[in-house]
Amino acid sequence: MKISLSNCIENVEWSRMKDIYHSVGWTNHDEEKIKKIFQASSVVAIAYDENKITGFGRALSDDVFNAAIYDVVIDKEYQNKGIGQQIIENLLAQLDDISCVHLVSTAGNEEFYKKAGFRKMKTGMARYLNPSLAEEYLQ
């Protein structure tokens, strides 16, 4: 398996992106929403095993001070093969001049992000409209 990364969404197979979201239980993502969020993102990293998308990540940025990484998702079948680390490294390289890069980890993946140099924030706060997400992520 030779993984390559692309920073372009041109010619992306949106149905495959949806399948990857669904493989990890994120079933509210449909092709239209996925296309919209990736088009609105400042930077993207999409991992391919030959022509097959295996995972991806994206970030929003003001291109000066702050950025936030979202949706680092690896197909269930391709997890634990270093692909997530490659995606994080690629996103951070694209955000190299940004002073602060934030992210919200899904529960249980905190150690993965610690290995990439992320640390817990003292003052991070959030608001969720979905009560189950609020229960999972907020203190």
Active site residues: 113
Helical (H) or strand (E) element with 3: strand 3-6
Among all chains, which residue has been given the structure tokens 């372009």?
8
Distances (CA, A) of 16 to 7, 44, 74, 110, 132: 17, 16, 12, 26, 27
For the record, the structure tokens of 24 come out as 């990890």
How does 62-84 read in b/e, with b if 16+ C-beta sit within 10 Å?
A: eeeeebbbebbbbbeebeebebb
Half-sphere exposure of 126 (CA within 13 A, CB side): 16
